[in-house]
Amino acid sequence: MKGQDGAAEITRQLLEAGVSADDVLRKALMVGMNNIGDKFGRGEAFIPELLIAARAMNASMEHLKPYFDSGEVQHKGSIILGTVAGDLHDIGKNIVRMVLEGDGWKAIDLGSNVPTEKFTDALKEHPCSIVGISALLTTTMVNMEATVREIKEEIPNTRVFIGGAPLTQAFSDKINADGYFPDPHSFAKYISSDK
């Protein structure tokens, strides 16, 4: 976009012109993210386009954060994200975080190689949060079962969702997770409509 304003610059200009932060988020940024998410779901857009859109959203969110902090714009809820213990891959989780933040969620990102106790500690600090756990490797996805079980034993009624390349809904059912989503946009739509 050499020589052109990008999403962050346009967001700043709209806010300076008196457009409400809520309108910028819901009527512009979220519309754009939903459009790219729908294209991705139909196979008309791919990971690079999704990353570009997520980065643009992330840059715009920097201008909106003061409005969230002031309470002018309310979060839909909190979600705790992390890549399962033993797995260092976090590109997918990072895309999910950016999409959810753009959709109005407060994301608590625990990073990669996250042990179960780090998830439960975060849940105690942020009660009533949803948990999202990712894995890229078949060798680490097996760690999800113990993590999901321990979270649900220690903090009952916590909703735990999983995602990642080797995972399936059948695996989610087997480990008693609350659902599996193959892409961040379907996950964002589900948890927003399920509130």
Give pLDDT, residue 4: 87
Q: CATH second-level architecture of 75-195?
A: 3-Layer(aba) Sandwich (3.40)
Question: Where along the chain do its domains lie?
Answer: 1-73, 75-195
Give pLDDT, residue 155: 96
Sheet of 130-134, strands arranged across: 106-109, 78-83, 130-134, 160-163, 179-180
Reported as a single tens digit per residue, the pLDDT across 64-113 is 888 877 777 778 899 999 999 999 988 888 888 888 887 788 999 999 99
Give pLDDT, residue 35: 86
Give pLDDT, residue 1: 62
CATH class of 1-73: mainly alpha
Give pLDDT, residue 13: 95
Give pLDDT, residue 46: 85
Annotate 99-129 with three-state secondary structure.
Answer: HHHHCCCEEEECCCCECHHHHHHHHHHCCCC
C-alpha to C-alpha distance for 190 and 122, rounded to whole angstroms: 22
Whether the model clears a pTM of 0.95, i.e. scores above it, the answer is: no
- Using 50 as the pLDDT threshold, list the residues of the chain that sit under it: none
Q: Which pair of tokens denotes residue 177?
A: 């997770």
Give pLDDT, residue 185: 80
